[in-house]
A and B are shown apart, each in its own frame.
Chain A
Amino acid sequence: MPGWMPTKPAGKAGSRTKARASRDNNTRGQNRPRDMPPRYTTPTSPMFQAVIRMTPPVKLLCKDVWKLYGTGGDTFLDKTPDPSFEQIKAAGLIPAVRKANIEVREGEIFVIMGLSGSGKSTLVRCMSRLIEPTRGALFYDDRDLLKATDKEMIEIRRHKMGMVFQHFALLPHLTVLQNVAFPLTIQGQKRASAEARAHEVIELVGLKGRETYYPRELSGGQQQRVGIARSLADEPELWFLDEPFSALDPLIRREMQDEFLRLQGMLAKTIVFITHDFDEAIRLADRIAIMKDGAVIQVATPEQLVLNPASEYVEEFARHVSRDKVMSVGSVMTPGATGAGDGISAQLKIADVAAQVVEADQPLTVVDDTGLPVGAIGRDAVIGVLIGKRG
């Protein structure tokens, strides 16, 4: 772990970090279990664990959010409370977001995935009130965001929210250090303390030594690291990332995804992540919301999406995903059966254990978090997943 120490949720985050770090070492930081966020499995009393393992509290709640572009969207919704896509079009309006319902839970990576024009960027801008929704309610913790005054919003944005942009949105006239310190100086912090904090986050994203560079002197990947560092400088609770890696080359993109997972492992923010790339969504998400034509058509874990797509549209995406990287051992094992070996974690992905299972002479034992055996997995099951057999 680098010299940086998280300053806010000191004890808790520190131990989480350790737990994640050790797990990441085993699995090269990519294939962490998904169905249950692992950062809540802190090694404390079983009682505490049981409480924690219940669904975490909702951090951000979008209730029936509508955004219609064009004049008279408000009166139109008064007259037709629940219009269809065609009705809105016929009224000469552009439906950007239609009745979106989303719950983002504390500490999870919530990915909103959709193709261009699906309304995902508008939705995330509604969530941060960069755009005023035409209708709907928005709660941050228990606070009604839409009722917040401009002044209150400024305070919330200064201390609770951070955002990373697709094209980085770095200020061209400031150096890396000044860019990262910018949100702090805007709040009126002294230059020295703002820059000290900026140095910490710059080191955190691995840009130490580049502090005096200007954005135009950096590569795209480095620029986005600056963007990430800047959004983390004022320690937001809620972290919006609007297609942060879409403008990067595929190789850099993958590297940045790993970097992002590493950071999240240390910081445990509540994240809303926008992407048009289904693979990226699968790779990063705890849960995914799929959007089409402004509507949210399914919210599920990556595994559920692949196993039970809600519509043909979702299935079309899921078909091209390598299922061995999505499906966990737990979902294909034979529950209750017994096998050999000293136990494979039910949360691991098939891709991670395939070689081990296929080489073994007999089915291997599967264990849960606590190390208790819950079933066994055999060669047939793994091969079934690998060759893409359904059902």
Chain B
Amino acid sequence: MRALSSRPLWVFGALLALTWVLARHGAGWVGAEGWLGDGGLEWAIKYPTAWVIPLKDYVSAAMKWLVEEAHFGLFTFTEFTRAISWAIEQPYELVRALLAEGFMDGPGRRAKQVFPPFSWLTITACVVALGHYARDWVLAAIVGLAFLYLALFGQWESAMITLASVIIAVPIGVVGGLSLGILAYRHPMFDRILKPVLDLMQTIPIFAYLVPILFMFGFGPVSALVATVIYAMPPMVRITTMALKAVSPEIKDFGVMTGCTRAQMTWRILVPSALPSLMVGVNQVIMLSLNMVIIASMIGAGGLGFDVLSALRRLDIGGGFEAGIAIVILAIAVDRLSQAFSERSGHVKPDVPGARWPARHPRATAVLLVMIAAFILGRFLPFFQTYPEEWWLTTGDFWDNSVKYLNINFYDEFEAVKLFFLNYFMLPLKRFFLGIPWPWACLMVVALGYHFGGWRLAAMNAVMTIFIVTTGMWEKAMVTVYLCGSAVVIASAIGIPLGVLAGTNARAGSAIGVVIDTLQTLPSFVYLIPVVMLFRIGDFTAMVAIVAYALVPSVRYAAHGIRSVSPELVEAGVVAGCTRWQLLTRIRLPLALPEVLLGLNQTIMLALSMLVITALVGTRDLGQEVYIALTKADTGRGLVAGFSIAFIAIIADRIILASARSARVRYGLEEAAHG
């Protein structure tokens, strides 16, 4: 490993130069008359259509067979999915009726409300009580204000529909993730099978599995819930397995010595001891479910996500922005609440055995009183039931006007920036990537894999690149790499210096931290709206949106890497007489390198996941392919393109992780693997 890593840099340089020359002039050479006979080497630049394996047709056919003909003896596949669908639908309809729509009776549009949903006052009182129960009055005020905002700005009903889907999706995701995680903890064999599946689930763009879900569960909230659960569950599985493994061996020994049975060991020792970590997983599930809100609305989830999506389609910036902000507000409220619950690992409660129920549960009593009062008053005064429409506030016009103002007064400036980047950065990069002959590119990817991870990684890379090439995805894959690559370069160029600043300067650190936290709660779609408004559609717009979305990890990891450099080493540098600049370049940065590389890795992953969403603004990459497949309900096309994206992600991920590991080994921060 050591010998490999310290190979002179010029080898890389030379290979890169050779690739560049090939990309630039390769097309000219193969096009030259009489060179190698008729077709020449044309096939090396453009993969011939005749060689493409029609994998997507096979997949589509298999899907069709599954839905129409598959039979498991007692029941058909369709009956099976319908049963699942029914099981999910019942609780969802109940919660949705309670929170948003009330109970209806009668057919279709003429349905009459026989029982109203909870009043907005009741629900707000309820979250305030939860906030106070989970932490204190400050949290209660925050979540209370957040829900008031939803009512005041007329987002109430949509928000409640969204909340209903979160309320159903989260328990399913948590219970499913917990069970799989426990199974993986108990059976290492199962763990080994599960891991690559989870990797794939997290790297395949969500759009790709929307189509099969659509086939199986039909258009509607159930499909949206299933997609949400699939998207939100993998982190819970991982966190569960990790948290159970991390329970101190002494506590496990204690469990055995007390004579716990297997079930007691799991439920009374391991799970409760790991609870704080598990709650982090629950929080993740909640946040990912909310992230999924907009995408899920493409296959039938209503609510805030649908509002954003339809606003985006109408290019209604004000409306889209307001609904987007409402998602963020809801996300913040739910996030803070769940975090408070996870930190609230029981404090001592005074025991009042004799007291009556209301005295022991003042919050529940208050909520009940509000509920009854709102119900009775709401019969006569609509205000107590639904926040009146006349009183809605809106900032839509403000956003519309600001964008108009910017567009009218700064059009030239925006255009100049856009053209500069397009002409001097993005287009040359695009030409470079599209010009590389695919056999050469495959060779390079395999060689990189071998260099950093040995034969296994090389073989894996080979299989994945061959999949991309032979399914006819090569050109689109290269556009993907170019778009994602340029976004990652810019995101790192902005993010790493910011991270270094945040890591070295405490005040800058806390300011940057706030911005980063906010960026992270924004659903990815929200980034698109202002960017489209300012730059219209096209590659540059897509890139800016990707940069904004993928910036967070590069800042965060760089800052963390800088901060975790041992203070002794920094002191040693100071004593040796380093200037501040030398301290940074000679000590801090090199030691933070592994962390920075991990940040880069995360940046790439986020960029790839954002890529599909930017298909909405007219890119021509794999993301677009997936998006088209979704609109045409073409399972095979969507899955093949989705797998291609996942493979690009996995190749990048493995190569970078392997290099980060080799850096850590070189610095002695990690043991080299045995054998």
Which residues of A line the B interface, CB within 8 A? 125, 128, 130, 153-159, 161-163, 165-169, 171-175, 182-183, 186-187, 212-214, 240
Across the interface, which residues of B come within 8 angstroms of A159, CB to CB? 259
Known A165-B253, A169-B250; 15 more pairs at CB < 8 Å: A125-B253, A130-B253, A154-B261, A163-B254, A169-B251, A169-B253, A173-B345, A173-B346, A174-B272, A182-B268, A186-B258, A186-B268, A187-B259, A212-B351, A214-B348
B395 within 8 A of A: no
Interface residues of B in 245-259 (CB under 8 A from A): 248, 250-251, 253-254, 256-259
Most buried by A among B250, B258, B275: B258
Across the interface, which residues of A come within 8 angstroms of B62, CB to CB? none
Across the interface, which residues of A come within 8 angstroms of B351, CB to CB? 212
Q: Is the CB of A158 within 8 A of B259?
A: yes
Q: Is the CB of A162 within 8 A of B269?
A: no
Candidates A154, A166, A169, A172; contact of B259 at CB < 8 Å: A154
Across the interface, which residues of B come within 8 angstroms of A162, CB to CB? 257
If A169-B248, A169-B251, A173-B346 touch, does A155 touch B259 (CB 8 Å cutoff)? yes
Determine chain B's interface SS by DSSP, over half rule: helix
Q: Is the CB of B257 within 8 A of A157?
A: yes
Interface residues of B in 231-272 (CB under 8 A from A): 248, 250-251, 253-254, 256-261, 264, 268-269, 272
Q: Is the CB of A163 within 8 A of B259?
A: no
Nearest-CB residue, chain A, relative to B253: A130
Q: Is the CB of A212 within 8 A of B259?
A: no
Across the interface, which residues of B come within 8 angstroms of A169, CB to CB? 248, 250-251, 253-254
Minimal beta-carbon separation of A209 from chain B (angstroms): 12
B520 within 8 A of A: no
Q: Is the CB of B346 within 8 A of A214?
A: yes
Across the interface, which residues of B come within 8 angstroms of A187, CB to CB? 259
B273 within 8 A of A: yes
**B335-347 near A? 1/0 per residue, CB < 8 Å:** 0000000000111
Across the interface, which residues of A come within 8 angstroms of B347, CB to CB? 214
If A186-B258, A212-B348 touch, does A171 touch B272 (CB 8 Å cutoff)? yes
Q: Is the CB of B254 within 8 A of A165?
A: yes
Q: Is the CB of B250 within 8 A of A165?
A: yes
- Count residues of B near A (Cβ-Cβ below 8 Å): 22
Across the interface, which residues of B come within 8 angstroms of A174, CB to CB? 272
Q: Is the CB of B257 within 8 A of A172?
A: no
Candidates B253, B259, B269, B348; contact of A171 at CB < 8 Å: B269
Across the interface, which residues of B come within 8 angstroms of A171, CB to CB? 251, 269, 272-273
Which residues of B line the A interface, CB within 8 A? 248, 250-251, 253-254, 256-261, 264, 268-269, 272-273, 275, 345-348, 351
Q: Is the CB of B261 within 8 A of A130?
A: no
A155 and B261 alpha carbons, distance in the complex (Å): 10
A163 and B251 alpha carbons, distance in the complex (Å): 11
Nearest-CB residue, chain A, relative to B347: A214
Minimal beta-carbon separation of B250 from chain A (angstroms): 4
Q: Is the CB of A167 within 8 A of B261?
A: no
Nearest-CB residue, chain B, relative to A159: B259
If A171-B251, A172-B345 touch, does A163 touch B257 (CB 8 Å cutoff)? yes
A213 and B347 alpha carbons, distance in the complex (Å): 8
If A155-B259, A158-B259, A183-B259 touch, does A213 touch B348 (CB 8 Å cutoff)? yes
A213 and B351 alpha carbons, distance in the complex (Å): 13
A167 and B252 alpha carbons, distance in the complex (Å): 12
A369 and B13 alpha carbons, distance in the complex (Å): 89
A187 and B260 alpha carbons, distance in the complex (Å): 8
A240 and B256 alpha carbons, distance in the complex (Å): 13
29 cross-chain CB contacts under 8 A: A130-B253, A130-B257, A153-B259, A154-B260, A154-B261, A156-B259, A157-B258, A158-B259, A162-B257, A163-B254, A163-B257, A165-B250, A166-B250, A168-B250, A169-B250, A169-B254, A171-B269, A171-B272, A171-B273, A172-B345, A173-B272, A173-B345, A187-B259, A212-B348, A212-B351, A213-B348, A214-B347, A214-B348, A240-B257
Q: Is the CB of B259 within 8 A of A186?
A: yes
A173 and B267 alpha carbons, distance in the complex (Å): 13
Across the interface, which residues of B come within 8 angstroms of A125, CB to CB? 253
Q: Is the CB of A167 within 8 A of B250?
A: yes
Nearest-CB residue, chain B, relative to A160: B259
A212 and B349 alpha carbons, distance in the complex (Å): 8
Minimal beta-carbon separation of A35 from chain B (angstroms): 32
Minimal beta-carbon separation of A189 from chain B (angstroms): 12
Across the interface, which residues of A come within 8 angstroms of B248, CB to CB? 167, 169
Q: Is the CB of B256 within 8 A of A157?
A: yes
Q: Is the CB of A130 within 8 A of B256?
A: yes
A155 and B258 alpha carbons, distance in the complex (Å): 9
If A167-B250, A171-B251, A173-B275 touch, does A157 touch B259 (CB 8 Å cutoff)? yes
Q: Is the CB of A163 within 8 A of B253?
A: yes
Across the interface, which residues of B come within 8 angstroms of A183, CB to CB? 258-259
Minimal beta-carbon separation of A186 from chain B (angstroms): 5
Nearest-CB residue, chain B, relative to A154: B259
A171 and B248 alpha carbons, distance in the complex (Å): 11
A174 and B269 alpha carbons, distance in the complex (Å): 11
A162 and B256 alpha carbons, distance in the complex (Å): 11
Minimal beta-carbon separation of B559 from chain A (angstroms): 29
Nearest-CB residue, chain B, relative to A174: B272
Across the interface, which residues of B come within 8 angstroms of A163, CB to CB? 253-254, 257
A53 and B268 alpha carbons, distance in the complex (Å): 45
Nearest-CB residue, chain B, relative to A156: B259
Across the interface, which residues of A come within 8 angstroms of B275, CB to CB? 173
Nearest-CB residue, chain A, relative to B256: A130
Across the interface, which residues of B come within 8 angstroms of A153, CB to CB? 259
If A157-B258, A167-B248, A186-B264 touch, does A172 touch B253 (CB 8 Å cutoff)? no
Across the interface, which residues of A come within 8 angstroms of B251, CB to CB? 169, 171
Nearest-CB residue, chain B, relative to A227: B254
Across the interface, which residues of A come within 8 angstroms of B259, CB to CB? 153-159, 183, 186-187
Q: Is the CB of A158 within 8 A of B258?
A: yes
Nearest-CB residue, chain B, relative to A182: B258
A214 and B273 alpha carbons, distance in the complex (Å): 13
Nearest-CB residue, chain A, relative to B272: A173
A130 and B258 alpha carbons, distance in the complex (Å): 11
Minimal beta-carbon separation of A373 from chain B (angstroms): 49
Nearest-CB residue, chain B, relative to A163: B257
Minimal beta-carbon separation of B347 from chain A (angstroms): 8
Minimal beta-carbon separation of A317 from chain B (angstroms): 27
If A167-B250, A173-B275, A173-B346 touch, does A161 touch B260 (CB 8 Å cutoff)? no
Q: Is the CB of B257 within 8 A of A161?
A: yes
A240 and B250 alpha carbons, distance in the complex (Å): 13
Minimal beta-carbon separation of B251 from chain A (angstroms): 5
A240 and B347 alpha carbons, distance in the complex (Å): 32
The 3 closest A-B pairs by CB, nearest first: A158-B259, A157-B259, A169-B250
Across the interface, which residues of B come within 8 angstroms of A167, CB to CB? 248, 250
Q: Is the CB of A172 within 8 A of B273?
A: yes
Across the interface, which residues of A come within 8 angstroms of B261, CB to CB? 154
Minimal beta-carbon separation of A128 from chain B (angstroms): 6
Nearest-CB residue, chain B, relative to A128: B257
Minimal beta-carbon separation of B272 from chain A (angstroms): 5
If A154-B261, A165-B253 touch, does A173 touch B348 (CB 8 Å cutoff)? no
A172 and B259 alpha carbons, distance in the complex (Å): 19
Across the interface, which residues of A come within 8 angstroms of B269, CB to CB? 171
Minimal beta-carbon separation of A197 from chain B (angstroms): 14
A168 and B348 alpha carbons, distance in the complex (Å): 21
A172 and B272 alpha carbons, distance in the complex (Å): 8
A158 and B89 alpha carbons, distance in the complex (Å): 46
Most buried by B among A154, A166, A169, A214: A169
A212 and B272 alpha carbons, distance in the complex (Å): 18
Minimal beta-carbon separation of A174 from chain B (angstroms): 8
A183 and B347 alpha carbons, distance in the complex (Å): 22
Q: Is the CB of B253 within 8 A of A173?
A: no
Across the interface, which residues of A come within 8 angstroms of B346, CB to CB? 173, 214
Q: Is the CB of B250 within 8 A of A186?
A: no
A175 and B347 alpha carbons, distance in the complex (Å): 9
Nearest-CB residue, chain B, relative to A236: B257
